[in-house]
Amino acid sequence: MIVKATTRLYGIFGHPVEHSLSPYMHNSAFVKLGLDCVYVAFDIKPGKLGDAVRGLKALNVHGINITIPHKETILNLLDEIDNDAMLVGAVNTVINKDGRLTGYNTDVGGFLRAVKEDFGLLPDGKKIFVVGAGGAARAVVVGLATNRAAEVVIVNRTRSKADALAQEFKNHFPKITFKSLSLRDSRAISTEISNTELVINCSSAGMKGENPLNLPLGLLPKGACIYDLVYEPSVTPLIKDARDLRLNSNSGISMLLYQGVEAFEIWTGKKAPVEEMKKALTVKKFLDDVE
Ligand code: NAP
């Protein structure tokens, strides 16, 4: 890759951002398609987001990903926001078209494509169990609801947040059944999980340094799938439990890949080189894991 006077600039805003895998994924895609583009990481401290967003227009940066802690704050700084991003209440991808900034949330489509590619699963008509009620859970619930899941059970450590999320989405999607539970309510969890087709961990449980989730996976019906949004470590305690029970399972690395694929396609209007992006992610992740 040679950076020239004509090179289009893309990147990511976050804080901290130095561990982001996105530059590897997007730069490998630009090289593969021979595009005169480069993707860099910008460490934007809280309080500096407004300046950074004005900078996108001034410097003609063509597209930007947004990560923690700016995904919600950026909503008020954009010219237009896509429907899914509005429902989630967060933006992770911005395109700059002639100085007009439009925000998207590609975690929604990224999650849906991950479970379709990994398990051949579509939410349509299914009962789905979601652990967590933070930003990632909101993106997943929007994906499930807009793709006509029959029932969504939201389980969270702080019960009131699960209740609020379930109530909010009941109002938006009255035909879908939403339930909310506390992660401590093991009896209700056992009942609800026993006829669930997909369990999704959207909480930080199981991340390095966090407690693992202890769900009664043995009660799941045959053929059920487990998707863990956490991908650090590569094999989370939940994925290990699922593998021990020979259930279909995968970690969130595929969601990370497909949210990047969607962002790339929004920015360039071209079909993303998925295999190349996957290879870049896998190699970088492997190197991080052995470090
Ligand atoms: P967030 O908004 O901070 O929400 C965190 C959620 O995790 C809350 O529901 C919180 O419960 C719960 N939680 C935290 N520690 C827990 C523990 N030890 N046991 C049980 N529940 C716990 O974070 P987020 O943005 O939603 O991200 C959640 C996870 O998803 C992170 O690990 C993130 O890396 C991952 N993620 C992955 C992708 C991907 O592409 N694969 C995309 C987005 C996020 P309380 O409400 O009780 O605090």
Task: pLDDT tens for the chain, 291 residues: list them.
Answer: 799 999 999 999 999 999 999 999 999 999 999 999 999 999 999 999 999 999 999 999 999 999 999 999 999 999 999 999 999 999 999 999 999 999 999 999 999 999 999 999 999 999 999 999 999 999 999 999 999 999 999 999 999 999 999 999 999 999 999 999 999 999 999 999 999 999 999 999 999 878 889 899 999 999 999 999 999 998 999 999 999 999 999 999 999 999 999 999 999 999 999 999 999 999 888 888 777
Q: Which of 105, 74, 100, 99 is nearest to 87 (CA)?
A: 105
Q: What's the pLDDT score for residue 89? A: 97
**Domain membership flag for residue 140:** yes
Clarify whether residues 29 and 78 are in a common domain. Answer: yes
Domain presence at residue 264: yes
Q: How far is the CA of 171 from the centre of ligand 1 (A)?
A: 24
- CB atoms inside a 10 Å sphere around CB 148: 14
Q: Are residues 162 and 240 in the same domain?
A: yes
Q: How far is the C-alpha of 246 from the C-alpha of 223, rounded, in Å?
A: 9
| 126 plus 247 within the same structural domain | yes
Q: How many domains does the chain have?
A: 2
What pLDDT score does 287 carry? 83
Sheet architecture: strand order including 100-104: 37-43, 8-14, 63-66, 93-97, 100-104, 80-81
Q: Do the domain assignments include residue 30? A: yes
Tokens 């063509």 sit at which residue?
A: 62
**DSSP code at position 218:** G
Residue nearest to atom 29 of ligand 1 (CA): 204
Residues 57 and 120 in one domain: no
Statement to judge: residues 96 and 134 lie in one domain? no
Compute the distance between CA of residue 158 and CA of residue 268 in angstroms, rounded to an integer: 40
Give 276's Cβ-side CA count (13 Å radius): 16
User: Are residues 87 and 25 located together in one domain of the fold?
Assistant: yes
What CATH number corresponds to the domain at position 156? 3.40.50.720
3 domain residue, yes or no = no
CA–CA separation, 89 vs 108, rounded Å? 12
| Cβ-proximal residues to 263 (8 Å cutoff; 6+ apart), any chain | 26, 63, 65, 92, 93, 104, 106
Residues 78 and 14 in one domain: yes
pLDDT recorded at residue 291: 73
Amino acid letter at 288?
D
Same domain, 242 and 269: no
State the pLDDT at residue 250: 96
Same domain, yes or no: 166 and 181 = yes
pLDDT at 277: 98
Phi, psi for 23 (deg, rounded to 5): -60, -35
Residue 285's pLDDT is 80
**Is residue 127 in some structural domain?**
yes
Residue 71 annotated as catalytic: yes
Are 16 and 94 contained in the same domain?
A: yes
Amino acid at 154: I
Give, using CA atoms, the residue closest to atom 31 of ligand 1. Answer: 204
Distance separating alpha carbons of residues 165 and 181, to the nearest angstrom: 11
Give, using CA atoms, the residue closest to atom 46 of ligand 1.
158
Q: So what's the pLDDT on residue 62?
A: 98
Strand partners, 66: 13
- Based on the domain organization, do 218 and 275 belong to the same domain? no
Write out the residue range of the structural domain in which residue 95 sits: 8-104+254-290
Residue 112 lies in a domain: yes
- Active-site residue, selected from the candidate residues 45, 71, 126, 222: 71
List Cα–Cα distances, 8 to 13, 173, 269, in angstroms.
Answer: 17, 40, 14
Residue 132, class by beta-carbon neighbours within 10 Å (0-12 exposed, 13-18 middle, 19+ buried)? buried
For residue 94, report the distance from its CA to the centre of ligand 1, in Å: 23
- Ligand 1 atom nearest the C-alpha of 254 is 41
What pLDDT is recorded for position 94? 98
Whether 165 and 276 share a structural domain = no
In a domain, 41, yes or no: yes
Residue from 67, 183, 204 whose mutation best tests the ligand 1 pocket (most atoms within 8 A of CB): 204
Return the pLDDT at 211.
85
Atom of ligand 1 nearest to the CA of 183: 20
In a domain, 1, yes or no: no
Ligand 1, CB within 6 Å, residue ranges: 107, 132-137, 156-158, 161, 183, 202-205, 207, 210-211, 229-231, 252, 255-256, 259
We report the CATH number of the domain holding residue 89 as 3.40.50.10860
Q: Whose CA is nearest to atom 41 of ligand 1?
A: 252
